[in-house]
Structure 1
Amino acid sequence: MGCPLLRNAFAGVLLVLLSQASSAHGGEFGHLPDNITVLEGDGVTLRCQIDEEVTHKAWLNRSNILFAGTDKWSLDKRVTLANSNNSDFSIHIEKVQVTDEGPYICSSQANNNPRIANVYLIVQVAARIVNISKNVSVNEGENVNLFCLAVGRPEPTVTWKDQKYGLVSDGEFLDITEIKRQQAEDYECITNNGVASPDQRKVKVTVNYPPLITDMKNMPAHLGKTAILRCEAMAVPPASFEWYKDDHRPVESDNTLRIKNEKTRSLLLFTNVTEKHFGNYTCFASNRLGASNASMLLFRPGAIQGRGAGLHAGMSVWVSLSAVLLLKL
């Protein structure tokens, strides 16, 4: 049957699309909708009810004939004839694509009475992130510019979520001016268009800053006993630690003293305190951005009064020492 003959023979038909699932899943559609919605990748059945008097029937998509009776005209393997009898003339589209969107027509002729019905197939695409900033490392005070690009049908929204404080910023771009160390965290991009579950991805922002010694104090020690001097410094990247004593000689581990460096602190562990161990110790913490130092005393109980008396002892001498050490970085 040629195309002109088919068009002349088209009769009106009631197009019934039976729905067995939500628009988020493939299925059959019912009633007489103007628009049918299906999710990309799902299948959909377009069911056309006819009667025994029908002599000619066809399915069209735009101006393209898909089926003329049981003869398939479409070259698309995804489009098949789901049913064809005296009451049901249905087609099925497998793995629906965005290009399948558009008008569909079921047309038939019965007793020279043409009937035709139209339906518009809408293809939705779940929102997804297609490009996003990589993890970034910056120095404190610099500006940070993040982006998150998403696609979907309908057009998705994009928001940025601050994981630490729960703050939300709308739009594909997130700009942070003169970032502070407290703002170092994972920033989450969320895109959603109501079709499926939101798509979410995170960007890790690392903020580098020089060491700041936060925990040090003078410690009493008894001869022959154990003692510990602690030096804690917050820094990104983590600080390297060095210890100096009195005349600024580097402290080295021996059988009575051990240096234990951890991620954020350094410990001087005295296993057997002797007279030579008493004195002023200076902790020097440094990374590529700068350095910090502080002094503390290991003293015999009763030798000094109160805490922190030696906290800044020798600091004037340490200014020049710090400058020399920084030149090594």
Structure 2
Amino acid sequence: MSVFESFLVLALLCRVACARYREFERVPEDTTVIEGSSVVLRCQVLKEYRTLQFTVYWEINGSIINPRTSKTKRYTLIEDRVEGIYDLEIRPVTEDDEGVYVCVIDFIDPFVSRSLPAELNVIRVPIPSFLQEPESTLVAEGETGTLGCHIGNFTEEHLYVAWFKDHYEVLSMIGFKNVALSLNMNSSRYSILKKGNGEFTLKITNVSRSDAGNYSCLVFVKNGDRILESRQAILSVTYHECYIGGVQRETEVYQEGDNITTVCIAGLSGYKTARNDLIYVAWVRDGDEFPGSREFRQNSEIKSTMSWSLTAADDKNPFVCQIKYSNQLNQVICRIDPINVHFARE
């Protein structure tokens, strides 16, 4: 073969090769996805060819894919003729979708243009499940609260866990690292305690009344659409405060015989429609409960007051407001320190 003939052959090969891909603005690329997720393979016709008459279709391993007639109904052709977009969406991806994909532009006359082949790899991962879901709990204001979530049947590198409060994300974690904090909450008080066996416990320090609400643990496979959401657990926050009202002087010194009022406020901050806890309040002095001082209230706040006529004993013994929540055995005792009483001399 002469040099001239060789040049003609190379020119012809170049013409064929170049013509094969030049009609594409975008072509599909090799992609790896997780089984059960979704994927979009890109295909866009070059602007100068969009006014021509043509059809576009996709092939997998040499076989034509027709989203309109496919029995699986998992293929969708995302079409925008003005922009020349003919993307192929597969949702959800299965093991059978693995293979080589080609976008084909059939210009009817005079040629057909085929994109570069793109390989779709499908990663098979186990479906996570809950071994233990979070349970509703009561936490006293200022203390530390925890909500547990135990996940099984997962691979660490593909696991994504997030905690939500009232449908807003509190804290999320990819696998066992890369913590991503949400801006919805005060992140310094929130953390996830994680163990290698799949326990992801939400820890809230210095609990406040605003923390009360519905919490849920959400799990899905990283880069996938497989979602698993726990039942909602209610975090209720109990609170109380006590103070002296009535006769007060700048020196906070009282005269014997003064009448004062002690106030005790107790409450349960939570979702009233979901909990039926009773709040119990009683006034106690020297271990004895004052007759008629006991009050019950369901799922709200109690402001209980008692009036006292100061005596010499008030300089030593505290006023006690005893608080109890019906579904917890422990009692919260609200103490008013001994009052500085100045005794009148004869």
Task: Give the TM-score, by structure 1 length.
Answer: 0.42
- The higher radius of gyration belongs to 1
TM-score normalised by length of structure 2? 0.41
